[in-house]
Structure 1
Amino acid sequence: MSDTKKIKVLFRLRSLEMGGVPRVVLDLLRNLPKDKFELTLMLNLYQGELVSEIPEDIKVIKIEKGREQMSKNPFIQKLQLGIRRLKLEIYDRFPSLLYALKVKEDFDIEIAPGYAEFKMVLGSPNKKSKKIGWFHTDVSYDKNQKRVNERIELMKQFDWMIFGAKQTRQVIEDLYGITYPKSSVIYNVIKINEARQKAKAFDASFPAVRPCFSSMGRLHSRKGYHTLMNVHKRLLDSGHHHSIFVIGGGSEMENLKNQAKELGVEDTFLLLGTQKNPWPYILASDYFVLPSQSESYPLTIGEVMALGKPIISTNVGGIPEMIEDGVDGVLVNYDENELYDAMKCFLTDENFVEKIKAGTKNVDEKFDEKRIYQQIIAVLENVLKK
C-alpha cells in the first residue's frame, strides 16, 4: 500500500438511538483524519435521535428505513415493520447478499463498535478486510453465562480488540482465565468543551427543591435508579431536603413512576425522559449522582466534571479509572447505606463539596482527546501490517 492511498474503514451500527456507542462512533467519524482514512458508516436501521449528527462528508449505507420514514397509518406501519424484520433476518443469514446489494465495495478495515455488531462484522464476506471489535461492557454483572461466553468467543476471532477500560479486559481474565494478546485499552473520547458549549444552549432552570442532584442514564434495572429513589426517600425522612432529576428513557420508566407514587416522592424525584441536549439541565443542578450496578467507561463522568459538578458514583467498571476518590469525586459501593452517607455528606458538608469542585479543575488534562485519537489512528494503521 502506498503512503498516499487512504485506508478504507467501514463502521457498522444497528442504529443511531441515543447512547454511548453511537456517540463514540459519530465522534470518530468527525475527528479521524480524512487525509489518512476514507470513512463509511453502515446502519441496519436509519433511525434514532442522533441521525441528524452524521457528518455531511461521511458516506452512509442504509440497509433499511427507520420507523420515522414509515407510514403513519398503524396498519401499514405494522406491515412495513414486519417486512423490514424479515429482510434483516435474511441479510443476517446471507451476508454475501447484503454486501452485493448494499455495499458493493471492499474495505481495508471493518469495525464493530459494540457487541451488538460483532456477528455482523465477523460474518462479512470480505475476507481480506481486517476486523476490529470494540468492547465496553463489564461482564461480571451479567448472569447469562451463555451470552457472556458467546461474546468472549467472538472476541477471539477479531484481528484486534479494543477495550474501553482496563477493568473491562481484566475482569474477563479474572473470571474466565482468558486473555487477548491482540488487544489494547483505549478510553473513549470525552468531549469536554462540547459539553460546556451545549450546557449554555438554553436556560434549564425549573422549579425544584434545592439543593438538587442530577443523574443521567438508560432506565434499566442495573442502572440502580430504584435504589437511588429509596435513598432519596430516606434522606427526606431524615430531614435532608433536596430533589433529584433523572434524564433518560428506557424499560424501567413505568416501574420508577409507580415506585415514586408509592413512596410519595413524585414532586422531588423527577423523571425527565430522554433529552437530546441534557447539559443545560446538568448545569442547573448542584450535584451529580450515578448509582449503577455496572458500567464500563461512561462518557458522562468526564462531561459532568467539565461542568464543575461534584460527582458521587458507584465504584464499578472503569469508573475508578476516571474518578480519584475524595479528590474530584466520591466513589461508593453499590450499597444503599453507602450511597445514603455520601449524599448526606454533600448535603451537609459545604467545605467537602467545594474541595471536590476544585478537584475537577484538572479535567482537561485528565481527559486529553488528542492522545486518544492518536492511539486509535495507531491501531487502524498497525492492524493492516499484521
Structure 2
Amino acid sequence: MGGVPRVVLDLLRNLPNDKFDFTLMLNLYQGELVKDIPKNIKLIVVEKGKEQMSSNPFIQKLQLAFRRLKLEIYDKFPAFLYKVKGLENYDIEVAPGYTEFDMVLNSPNKKSRKIGWFHTDVGYDKDQQRVMSRIEKMKKFDFMIFGSKQTRQVIDDLYQVKYSKSTVIYNVIKVDEVLKKATLFNHSFNTDYPVFSSMGRLHHRKGYHALMKVHKQLLEDGFPHVIAVIGGGNEMENLISQRKELGVDNTFLLLDSQTNPYPYIKASDFFILPSQSESYPLVIGEVMAMRKPIISTNVGGISEMIDDGIDGILINYDEKDMYNAMKDFMTNPDLVDKIYDATEKAYEKFDEKEIYRQVSEVFEQQYQLKLQNEQS
C-alpha cells in the first residue's frame, strides 16, 4: 500500500502504450496492490508472496527460508536471475526506489540505460554509511529522477554532491479518483468532538508516537478530540502499547491499512501529518483535493505542495508546535475557514498530464542515447 508502488502502477496505467512496451518485475508477489496491476502489462514474478504459501506454520517457515535463500542467490548472481526468468535485453531499466538500486545497477544487461528514482529525504537519516551508500549508487545511474526539489537539494547542501544528469518530477496526485473513492461509502466516528485523521505507514520516523503524546496533553488541558490513524506497519505494536500506557485507547484510533482510506478522511474534520521525514507524499495532495484543513511537518518537499498559512499549516517536527497548531484548529474557526476556502483550487497544483509528459520525455531521451551509443 506504499506510495512508490502506487506511483509505479499509475505510470503503467497512463504512460502512452503506443510509445512504450513495459515489463514489471516484482521481487515478491504480495501486498494489497497486486490486484491493481494493469492486465496489459507483462509481469515477471521473482518469488511468491506469503499469501500464496502454505497455511501450515511449519511448512510456511520452510518456504520462507527457501525463498530467502533464492533471493540471496539472485542478488549475488543477477545474470542467473535473468537467465532463469527469461529476462530480455531491455532498452531501459528503472529502479523506482532505493530498495531496487542494486538489482538494476547489477543487471547483466550492460547496454540498457539505467534510471534511478529517489523519493527519500536523507537529511533525517543518522546512519551516514547508509546515506553515503545511496548517494554513491545514484552516481552510477545514467539518469536520476528525484521526487521533489528538496530531495535533490538536501544532498547538495549536506554532502556537496550534485547530479548533473537528473531532473525533478513530482508524483501524480489522482484528484478525481480520490474524490470518487471518498464517496463509495459513508463513515462516522460517532463523536461530537473534532476528529483529526492521518494516514501513513506506521514507522518510527512517521511521528505517530509524538502525535500520541501531544494528543494526551491536549486532552489533559481541556481540548477534547479524536485522532484516527490509517495505516499499518512495524510500529503498530509499539503504538498499541503506548496508547494503553497513556490511557487513550478510545480517542487515538489505529485503523490499520485500508484499501479505500478516503471515506475515513472525509469523515474527519482536520488532517495532520506528523512525519519526521518525507519526500513528496501523495497524501498531502489528496487531502488538499478533499479540502480538509491540514497541518503538516515542514519536511521534504511538502513546502512545495502547501503554502504555509494559506491552504495549510506547516510546523517543525516538534511536539510544542504540533500542540499549538492542533489547538488553533480546534479554537480558531476563522483560521480553519480561511484554509478551507484556499483549498478550493488546490487541485490546480497537481497537473497529471504534465507529469506524464515529463516522464515520457525522460524515457524517450534515454532511449535515443542508447541508440546513439550503439551506433558509435
TM-score bracket, normalised by the shorter chain, equals over 0.9
> Which amino acid letter does the alignment assign opposite residue 266 of structure 1?
D
Tell me which residue corresponds to 2:298: 315
Q: 1:344 and 2:339 equivalent?
A: no
CA distance in 2, matches of 1:355, 1:199: 23
Q: 1:22 and 2:16 equivalent?
A: no
CA distance in 1, matches of 2:127, 2:158: 14
Tell me which residue corresponds to 1:301: 284
Tell me which residue corresponds to 2:372: none
Q: Deviations over 1:105-161 (max 9, x none)?
A: 111100000000000000111111100000000001111111111000000000100
Q: Deviations over 1:234-258 (max 9, x none)?
A: 1111111111010111111111111
SS in 2 for 1:103: coil
The root-mean-square deviation of aligned C-alpha atoms, in Å, is 0.9
CA distance in 2, matches of 1:178, 1:342: 36
How do residues 259-338 of structure 1 correspond to structure 2 at under 5 angstroms? Answer: 259-338=242-321
* TM-score, with structure 2 as normaliser: 0.97
SS in 2 for 1:294: coil
Q: 1:59 and 2:42 equivalent?
A: yes
Shift of 1:363: 1.9
CA distance in 2, matches of 1:306, 1:330: 15
SS in 2 for 1:241: coil
Contact 1:209 1:268 in 2 (8 A): no
CA distance in 2, matches of 1:99, 1:35: 26
SS in 1 for 2:255: strand
CA distance in 1, matches of 2:167, 2:132: 20
> Which amino acid letter does the alignment assign opposite residue 55 of structure 1?
P
Contact 2:288 2:347 in 1 (8 A): no
SS in 1 for 2:85: helix
Q: Deviations over 1:26-84 (max 9, x none)?
A: 00010000000001100011111100000111110011111111111111111111111
Q: Deviations over 1:155-207 (max 9, x none)?
A: 00001000000000000001001000000000011111111111111112132
CA distance in 2, matches of 1:186, 1:235: 39
Shift of 1:377: 0.5
Q: 1:45 and 2:32 equivalent?
A: no
CA distance in 2, matches of 1:99, 1:226: 43
Provide closer, same or farther for how the CA distance between residues 267 and 209 of structure 1 changes in structure 2, counting only shifts above 3 A.
Answer: farther
Tell me which residue corresponds to 1:129: 112
Identity of aligned residues (%): 68
Aligned pair partner of 2:230 in 235, 247, 272:
247
Deviates more, 1:202-211 or 1:141-150: 202-211
Shift of 1:364: 2.0
SS in 2 for 1:22: helix
CA distance in 2, matches of 1:295, 1:200: 28
* TM-score, with structure 1 as normaliser: 0.94
How do residues 1-386 of structure 1 correspond to structure 2 at under 5 angstroms? Answer: 18-386=1-369
- The runs of 5 or more residues in structure 1 that have no matched partner are 1-17
CA distance in 2, matches of 1:131, 1:104: 15
Contact 1:288 1:310 in 2 (8 A): yes
> Which amino acid letter does the alignment assign opposite residue 31 of structure 2?
G
Shift of 1:209: 4.8
SS in 2 for 1:309: coil
Shift of 1:283: 0.4
Contact 1:209 1:241 in 2 (8 A): no
> Which amino acid letter does the alignment assign opposite residue 320 of structure 2?
N
> Which amino acid letter does the alignment assign opposite residue 79 of structure 1?
L
Deviates more, 1:204-213 or 1:375-384: 204-213
Regions of 4+ moved over 3 Å? none
Tell me which residue corresponds to 1:13: none
CA distance in 1, matches of 2:10, 2:191: 34
SS in 2 for 1:62: strand
CA distance in 1, matches of 2:3, 2:87: 29
CA distance in 2, matches of 1:141, 1:247: 23
CA distance in 2, matches of 1:232, 1:62: 43
Shift of 1:231: 1.0
CA distance in 1, matches of 2:367, 2:153: 26
CA distance in 2, matches of 1:382, 1:175: 30
State how many pairs are aligned: 369
- The runs of 5 or more residues in structure 2 that have no matched partner are 370-376
Q: Deviations over 1:348-368 (max 9, x none)?
A: 111110110111111221111
